[in-house]
Every structure is written in structure tokens, then in C-alpha cells.
Amino acid sequence: MKKKNTVSLFLGVCILLCSLSLTVGVRTLFHACVHDDGAFGACHWAQQAIFGAGIVLSVLSLVRLLFPGNGVKLGLDLGIIVNALLAALTPGILIHLCMMDTMVCNALMRPIVCAIAAVIAILALIDTIILGKSAKEGKSA
Amino acid sequence: MNIRKLPVKNLERKPVRTAMLIILTALLSLAVFGGTLVERSLRSGLTSLETRLGADIIVVPASAKSQYDLESILLEGVPGHFYMKKDYLDKVGKIEGIEKISAQYYLATVTSGCCSMPLQLIGFDPQTDFTVKPWIRQNYSGELGEFEIVIGGNINSAVGKTLKFYNQSCTVVGTLARTGTELDNAVFATAQTIKALIKSSEALGLNGQTREDPEQIISTIQIKVQEGYDIDDVMNDINIHITRVQAVRTRSMISGVADSLAGTAYIIRVLIAAVWVLALVILFAAFAAMVNERKREFAVLRVIGTSRSRLARIILAESALVSLLGGVFGILLGTAVVFPFSNLIESKLGLPFLLPGTGDILLLAALTLAVSVLVGAAAASYAAVKLSRVDTGLILREGN
């Protein structure tokens, strides 16, 4: 049981770090296209939506780390999975990006956002399975 | 406990050691799979560029050679435009040894707003063209009408949609397969469409290149040399007899790209070899250390009747499991890095980059997996041989 809690704690820290890197990174390292004339295109709004989803993910993963109850953690994990999927679907599917595949939003922002969001969703899913098993074991005990 | 399950149990018992070995083999297979995939993609890009070369010689205005990087504009579709008088088409056509001759018209769009970037608009004469039409026909069988365009594989649009250039709406009638070159960012149309767009660009004051009537200008002349004639001789004839134009042999232009590619491919191969040597040394050391650490465990197994060959099989099974898992992780990691970031790799390398077909990629993945398992087995065999020479009695007495 203790081992499972340690794994869950480790997963929680990883999810928080990934969420923070998504939130900060989408505005800094892998941002949308920058325009000389200051105009905003569709990819800018995709970036803003991902930034919003990143903040929600960061808050959820922080709360998940701070709250002790496994039931609460399980619920928050499910919320994290849904939000991570939302972040992954935002660039290119929910909000269109620029016309050329070689532009920064298509070549850099989209793949990195999808990769981080997929990692968050997978980690949260693993945590959900671990917490679900712990809850079953607790009931049977 | 069933001795067949022993390798799995051994790996489960030491999760950190198992994880480290898996990470090591994953790095090995990542280097092999990712590196080879990038190298193959560069080669596919060059082949694709070569197949796009329909002309033996391209004639451009002499001034363009000094003003522009012709190699990029003519071979790779990097946006840029230059013009010369249409009369040159007739003058060049009179040179002996020319089988086919056709004019092309270039126009670069301007950046406007987020969802547009400079594009190369390439116009061809449907009556005489022999370079663009065979390529377009692979994806679009009809004849291009006025303001109808065929777009490169990198442009996110679809058949039936319209794209606006210089306030003129053009309908997309086809999308070309990717070539891995800048031609994927180009738009192809008939000469009439490009001339109309040149007029629009001039009306908007965005084309400072020419004051000439668009009907009287061309950008390049594409030439196919007759069989039996030497391409260099025809090229020299044009350069000697016709002033203010420059004839360039396309093969000589591609050699620059091929040289850059050879250099990049060499660096990739050196890096793969370095990772291989490093991973091999570490794997051999890791398996040797593992056998040393578990001498007593193996001695006990010998005492309870396990044969030396069975012990060797246990070690080999452990290494096979570790290598297989590591190999799969490495391939997945390589896939996750190379495929989504292929556009970024292409733009950073500045070389034609075309991912190989699915069959080739699956074959490469299978070979990488085989190599990972073989390397793991080789490292474990060394450990198994070392173990077979161990004196069981001595090991057990050492423990007391």
C-alpha cells in the first residue's frame, strides 16, 4: 500500500511538472506564430486556449497533490485526463492553425503540446488505475 | 516456483537495475531507429528533388544569377521572382540540339496576417510544359482553368476551397504529394493565371520587379536537350550566343544539395556509431556486473540441480526481455520525435526531407528491434560464458 502511495505521489509530481511546462512553454518556448504587423491569427487564439487549459491542469494537479483522500485524487485525475485531451485537441482540430505545415505553430507548437498533453493523460490514467486498485484492496480488507 | 518464470521474477525483483538496462537499450534503439530514419528521409528528399528535375537546362535572366540564390528558387521553390522579355524564348529555341522548350512564370506572394506566408506561385504553359504537368498529373488529371490552382503538400487547404492572392480568389483543384522540398510550399497554375496575378500585384503596388506588360515577360526557360547532343555544349551555345541570359545545368545545381546532404548523413552515422560503442560497452559491463553480483544465487541454482546451459538460458532470457522492451520503447520514442517534428527537422536542416513509406519504416523498426535483441544477447552471452567458468563450491565457501 505504501509503495503504491509513493508511486502515486511520484506520478502526481510528474503531472504537475508537465502541466506547468505546458502552461509556461506555450507562451515562451513553443508559442504560436509571431507577426511583424502585430496582427493575431487563429494560431494565437489556439495558444491562448492551450494556456488556459494549462492553468486548469496546473491547478488540478496541485490540488491533487495537496489533498490526502484517494477518492478526491481519483476524481481530480479524471478531470486532468479530460483537460489534457482538450489541450491536445485544441491546436489544429478545435482551433485551426496557420496555412503552412512548416510554420512555427504547425511545426513546433502543435507536436509539443500534443506530446505533453498525451504524457499528462497517460500518467493520470496510470494513477487512476493504481488508486482504483488501492480503493478495491481497501474495501476488501 | 517454475524455473521458466525465473527470468521474469529476477527482473521484477530488481526494478531499478531492470529499468536502467531497459533505458540503455532504449537509447541504443532510439539512436539506430531515429538516426537511420532521418538519414533515409534526407536521401528520399534528394531522390524526390532529382525526380522533379524534368529539364536539363534552365535559362534565367543574367541579373537574376547575381541577385538570387537560383538553386533555392529553381529547384526548391523558395519564394522569389525575376523576369526577362518573352523574345528570349524564340531566340533560345533557335539553338541547335533542343528537343523541348517551355517558359515558366514566377511570382512570390507577400506575407499577410497570421495564416499566410510568402509562397512561390509557379506558372507554366500547358501547351509546351514538360516539367510540371507530369508531376501534377499524378494527383490531378484535368486541365487547369483560369484562377484554378494545384497546391503543394505543405499547404493546409483542400480541393474546392479558395485561396486569395493579391485580391484574386483562386480555386484549389488538386493537392500534390509531398516532395520533402520547398516545392511543397509552392502553388502551381497556368501562365494565364500567373499573368493575371502579376497584373493584380502591380495594381496593388506590391510587385516592384517589372514595369513590363505581363504578356511580354517570362521568368525562366526550361529546356530538354535532344538525344545525341551534349547538354554542356547546348548550355555553352546559349551562354555564348545569347546575351543578358544565363543558362544553368540543373544537375550541377543539385550537386550542392547532395554535398550538404552527404555531410549531414556522415555526422548522423558518426553519432549513431558513437552511441552504439558507448551502449555496447555499458551493456557488457552491466551484464558482467550483474553476473558478479549474483554469483551466489547462480551457485545455489547449480547446487539444486540446474545445469550450466539452463543458467545460460536464464541469463539470455533476461537479456532478451530487457532488450525487447528497451527496443520497443526506443522505437516508440524515435517515432514520437521524428514524425511530429519532421517539418521542424526539415526547416532546421535546410535540406529536402521526405519520410520513407510505411513499409520501409516498419522494416526499419523490425531491423532495429532485431539489432537491440542481438546486442543484448551478445552482452549476456559474454556474462553467461564467464558464469560457466565459475567454481560453484568456491563461491558458496566464500560466502561463509
Residues B42 and B75 in one domain: no
Mutate to test the interface with B, among A6, A10, A100, A116 (most CBs of B within 10 A): A100
Q: What is the dihedral of CA B208, B211, B213, B214, to 10 degrees?
A: -20
Instruction: List pLDDT tens digits, range B149-185.
Output: 998 888 888 888 888 888 888 999 988 877 777 778 8
CB of A53 within 8 Å of a chain B CB? The answer is no
Q: What is the distance in angstroms between the Cα of A13 and the nearest Cα belonging to chain B?
A: 19
Q: Please name the residues in contact with B398: beta carbons below 8 A apart, sequence gap of 6 or more.
A: none
**Using a CB-CB distance cutoff of 8 angstroms, which residues of chain B are in contact with residue A116?**
none
Closest by Cα among B138, B121, B119, B131 to B185: B119
| Contact assignment for A103 to B117 by CB distance below 8 Å | yes
| Contact assignment for A102 to B346 by CB distance below 8 Å | yes
Q: Is the confidence at residue B400, as pLDDT, over 50?
A: no
Q: Name the DSSP letter for residue A52.
A: H
pLDDT at residue B97, rounded to an integer: 92
Distance CA B367, CA B361 (A): 10
The predicted complex's ipTM stands at 0.74
Secondary structure class of B303 (helix, strand, coil): helix
CB of B343 within 8 Å of a chain A CB? The answer is yes
pLDDT at residue B112, rounded to an integer: 47
Secondary structure class of B188 (helix, strand, coil): strand
| Contact assignment for A41 to B113 by CB distance below 8 Å | yes
Q: Indicate the pLDDT class of residue B113, thresholds 50, 70 and 90.
A: very low
| Contact assignment for A33 to B336 by CB distance below 8 Å | no
Element (H, E) at B85: strand B84-85
pLDDT at residue A125, rounded to an integer: 96
Q: Indicate the pLDDT class of residue B248, thresholds 50, 70 and 90.
A: confident
| Contact assignment for B155 to A100 by CB distance below 8 Å | yes
Strand partners of residue B190:
B124
| Contact assignment for B115 to A43 by CB distance below 8 Å | yes
Instruction: List pLDDT tens digits, range B29-63.
Output: 898 899 899 988 988 888 877 776 778 898 988 87
**Using a CB-CB distance cutoff of 8 angstroms, which residues of chain B are in contact with residue A32?**
114
Strand partners of residue B246:
B60
How do the domains of chain A map onto residue ranges? 40-132
Distance CA B53, CA B223 (A): 11
pLDDT at residue A88, rounded to an integer: 96
| Contact assignment for B343 to A102 by CB distance below 8 Å | yes
C-alpha dist (Å) from residue B303 to B281, B297, B299, B316, B400: 32, 10, 6, 20, 16
- A116-120, B72-76, B83-87, B151-155: range with lowest mean pLDDT: B72-76
Residue from the list B340, B346, B347 with its beta carbon closest to the beta carbon of A111: B340
Closest by Cα among B78, B30, B40, B134 to B354: B40
CB of A73 within 8 Å of a chain B CB? The answer is no
Q: Which long-range contacts (CB under 8 A, 24 or more apart) does B34-39 make?
A: B34/B333, B34/B334, B34/B337, B34/B338, B35/B268, B35/B269, B35/B271, B35/B272, B35/B275, B36/B272, B36/B364, B36/B368, B37/B334, B37/B338, B37/B355, B37/B356, B37/B361, B37/B364, B38/B268, B38/B338, B38/B345, B39/B265, B39/B268, B39/B269
pLDDT at residue B6, rounded to an integer: 74
Apex B23 CA angle, B22 and B24, nearest 5 = 90
Secondary structure class of B82 (helix, strand, coil): coil
Q: Please name the residues in contact with B53: beta carbons below 8 A apart, sequence gap of 6 or more.
A: B75, B131, B250, B251, B254
Q: How many interchain CB pairs under 8 A, A with B? A: 64
Q: Indicate the pLDDT class of residue B100, thresholds 50, 70 and 90.
A: very high
Q: Is the confidence at residue A34, as pLDDT, over 90?
A: no
Under a CB-based contact definition with an 8 Å cutoff, are residues B237 and B95 in contact? Answer: yes
Of A52-66, B272-286, B317-331, give the range with the top mean pLDDT.
A52-66
Closest by Cα among A13, A33, A99, A86 to A56: A86
Q: Which of B220, B250, B280 delimits the end of a domain?
A: B250
> In chain B, what percentage of residues exceed pLDDT 90?
18
Q: Which of B222, B250, B278 delimits the end of a domain?
A: B250
Q: Indicate the pLDDT class of residue A22, thresholds 50, 70 and 90.
A: very high
Residues B161 and B223 in one domain: yes
Q: Is the confidence at residue B362, as pLDDT, over 90?
A: yes
Under a CB-based contact definition with an 8 Å cutoff, are residues B219 and B191 in contact? Answer: no
B154 to chain A: closest CA residue: A101
Residues B87 and B34 in one domain: no
pLDDT at residue B3, rounded to an integer: 64
Mutate to test the interface with A, among B12, B76, B115 (most CBs of A within 10 A): B115
A114 to chain B: closest CA residue: B340
Residues B135 and B203 in one domain: yes
CB of A43 within 8 Å of a chain B CB? The answer is yes
Residues B213 and B279 in one domain: no
Mutate to test the interface with A, among B78, B109, B114, B164 (most CBs of A within 10 A): B114
Residues B244 and B268 in one domain: no
Number of compact structural domains in chain B: 2
Average pLDDT, integer, range B338-352: 84
Q: Please name the residues in contact with B2: beta carbons below 8 A apart, sequence gap of 6 or more.
A: none
What the block records as the C-alpha cell of B106 is 514566377
pLDDT at residue A26, rounded to an integer: 95
Closest by Cα among A102, A123, A114 to A12: A123
| Contact assignment for A43 to B156 by CB distance below 8 Å | no
Query: Is A87 or A4 the better-scoring residue by pLDDT?
Result: A87
Could you tell me where the DSSP H helices lie in A28-96?
42-66, 70-89
Instruction: Give the residue numbers spanning the domain of B390.
Output: 3-48+257-399
Average pLDDT, integer, range B350-364: 88
Strand partners of residue B123:
B105, B189
Residues B187 and B57 in one domain: yes
CB of B340 within 8 Å of a chain A CB? The answer is yes
Closest by Cα among B347, B175, B120 to A104: B347
The order of strands in the sheet holding B245-249 is: B162-165, B168-175, B148-151, B186-190, B120-124, B98-108, B220-225, B57-61, B245-249
| Contact assignment for B114 to A40 by CB distance below 8 Å | yes
Per-chain mean pLDDT for chain B:
82
DSSP secondary structure string for all residues of B126-176: TTT--SSHHHHTTT--S---TTEEEE-TTB---TT-EEEETTEEEEEEEEP
pLDDT at residue B14, rounded to an integer: 78
B181 to chain A: closest CA residue: A102
Residues B80 and B162 in one domain: yes
Q: Which of B219, B250, B281 delimits the end of a domain?
A: B250
Residues B363 and B317 in one domain: yes
pLDDT at residue A77, rounded to an integer: 94
Residues B30 and B55 in one domain: no
CB of A36 within 8 Å of a chain B CB? The answer is yes
CB of B111 within 8 Å of a chain A CB? The answer is yes
Q: Please name the residues in contact with B44: beta carbons below 8 A apart, sequence gap of 6 or more.
A: B180, B354, B355, B356
Q: Is the pTM of this model over 0.80?
A: no
pLDDT at residue B350, rounded to an integer: 75
Q: What is the distance in angstroms between the Cα of B228 and the nearest Cα belonging to chain A?
A: 42
B341 to chain A: closest CA residue: A107
C-alpha dist (Å) from residue B90 to A30, A59, B74, B87: 52, 72, 21, 6
B353 to chain A: closest CA residue: A102
Residues B271 and B390 in one domain: yes
CB of A44 within 8 Å of a chain B CB? The answer is yes
| Contact assignment for A44 to B343 by CB distance below 8 Å | no
